[in-house]
Structures are given as C-alpha cells and as structure tokens.
Structure 1
Amino acid sequence: MRAFVRRYNSLNWPEYNAETLRLFSESTGPNRCSIIISTDTLMVGVNLPVKSSGV
C-alpha cells in the first residue's frame, strides 16, 4: 500500500489543505494520505474521523 505524507498549515492554499483532509479521510485507495504534518491550524474547527494514533 502506498501512503502519502502531506502538510497542513496556514501557508498552504486553502484548496491544498482541503485536498489533504479529503485524502486523509479516505479509508482505502492507492492515493490515500495516512500521515499529515501539521501546525496547530489542524486543531481549529476540523472534524476528522477517528484514527488509531496521533502524535
């Protein structure tokens, strides 16, 4: 399985951040994102599905 690492922060275009969340929310598929490197902007008003771990 391929997994992509993407960044989520306020310096990215809003469309890029939205795509990151969409890819992260997908549970399967070859293009899913399983790791997000983020600043605290990800914690503000974002409702993500339950994931098994977070750092």
Structure 2
Amino acid sequence: MAEQLILPMALGSGGCFSALKPSLYLPTNIQVIQKLTGTNVRLEKLGEDHWKVLVINN
C-alpha cells in the first residue's frame, strides 16, 4: 500500500505517513518516482515493523 501513496504525495505538496515493513517493490518505486519528479523520498525505521515514509518536494 505504501508504494501507492507516494506518487500522489510527490505530485502534490509532499508529506509523511507510517507504514508496516516495506515491500520489495517500495525501494524501486521510490527510485522511479524520485527520477521522474525530482522529489526526495526517505524511509525511516521507527521499530521492527514500523516505518515512516517522508515525501519532500523541492
């Protein structure tokens, strides 16, 4: 689900959200979105299965 939320946030005003352990598709999706939009996306591990996804528009 996290990979589906990043693109609208990258095209909008950015933001952040919490997610469970990232899927294998998430890092690839982040790389593609960063290249296409110039948006910075970061993953921060908050706990064993708790992550924060930050979408920062330049």
TM range (shorter): 0.3 to 0.5
Q: Normalising by structure 1, report the TM-score.
A: 0.35
Greater percentage in strand: 2
More helix by share: 2
